[in-house]
Amino acid sequence: MTADELRRRVAADVAARHPVDAREAQSIQRFLDAFDQLDDPFSQAADPTHVTGSALVTGARGVILLKHKRLGIWLQPGGHIDPGETPWSAALREAAEETGLDVQVAGAVDAAGVPELLHVDVHPGGRGHTHLDLRYHLHAGDADPAPPADESQDVGWFGWDDAIELADPGLAGLLHSLRQGSDGP
């Protein structure tokens, strides 16, 4: 996928999202407004506002959350997009790196190999950055997380109710919606 194709695909996927709550609706609009203004939206070095990729990791034991080392809040795994990477491949890489788990895309992928965009959240990323976060659903078995020493060691499986209570507001809306709609993925 070329850079232009990636840019068009991401914009189309975000525009097509049906928000789970008012926060996501606002995030979708903020994402699209900012995304159109960025020369290189996938590079954290190009602008303090940039796209990130993250993952809602679920499994038989519930939901994986980690406590962010700098921000001190409970989040889903995710982070910056490396050069040449897509947001969904960044979500896979970051989830595996931050949890030490073997993660897989949950659900189907389209003919181009792209998983469904699960959620959009625009939020402060620390250090004056704004993250235009694209979230994808990943699945892990039931193994205990084993993050490497340089990642947060506060990572674990949480039941849906506990995950909703601990999560930051942007993630809590998604978790609440999934919990209500299907008793969790």
Cβ–Cβ < 8 Å for 105, 92: yes
Nearest to 123, CA basis, from 133, 137, 108, 115: 133
- CA distances to 10, 29, 76, 183 from 92, rounded to whole Å, are 16, 25, 12, 24
Q: What is the pLDDT of residue 185?
A: 44
Q: Topology of domain 3-182, per CATH?
A: Nucleoside Triphosphate Pyrophosphohydrolase (3.90.79)
Helices 22-37/169-182 angle, 10° precision: 130
Q: What is the pLDDT of residue 181?
A: 54
The residues spanned by each domain of the chain are 3-182
Cβ–Cβ < 8 Å for 140, 101: yes
Helix H or strand E segment including 182 = helix 169-182
DSSP code per residue over 66-89: EE-TTT--EE-SEEEPPTT--HHH
Cβ–Cβ < 8 Å for 47, 40: yes
- Residue 85 carries which DSSP code? -
The span from the CA of 67 to the CA of 35, in Å, is 28
Q: What is the pLDDT of residue 180?
A: 64
List, for the chain, all residue ranges whose pLDDT scores fall below the cut of 70.
Answer: 180-185
